Homo-oligomer: A and B are copies of this chain.
């Protein structure tokens, strides 16, 4: 049986060190001082300088990248997307942030994916086309009714443009949402679940699977 130990996970982004320390979230801005860590830290990073900084506070950094075995023929799939998909055999994984990545897992294999603009970035296109199209998206718009004014017309278009391509490939598969707008979008899907901590959850799964093999 494994002894009691503290599991420290860290998601290193372009703004913060995001820790999950035995299930408790803790964020530090990249320029903030970090405490010293006695225990090993499992991390995922998109920021090499920040990784070097964390190295000064912890002797044992373990890059989750080195523990992953993930099969795909997709060229240029980011590590965050790979981690989000890890552990799902048959599902659609949607990470709805500044961009919305949509990935398809079938029988344990990654089949491919696509990249929609995030909700706020979608909204930002319209005023760039014409000042007459400068409206904030209304999430209350009725998607079963053809719009009868410009604000509804834009909100309807943005939501349909995001929802329909996901529905088309989802068919009867479960849709896993994460990311800032994941909760909002998950409401439009019947067989869906929103997982705020999908990355950390899957990092834990990868670590566990690796410990079982070792």
Interface, chain A (partner B; CB < 8 A): 73-76, 98-99, 104, 111-118, 121-122, 124-126, 128-130, 133, 145-150, 153-154, 156-157, 160-162, 164-165, 168-169
Contacts and interface: CB of A to CB of B under 8 A. Distances in A.
Nearest to A146: B112
Copies of this chain in the oligomer: 2
Contact of A73 (B98, B115, B148, B154): B148
Contacts of A114: 146-147, 153-154, 156-157, 160
Contact of A115 (B128, B153, B168): B153
A157 B111 CA distance: 16
A162 B164 CA distance: 10
B148 A115 contact: no
Contacts of A73: 148
B164 A113 contact: no
Contact of A133 (B74, B115, B160, B168): B115
Contacts of A74: 147-149
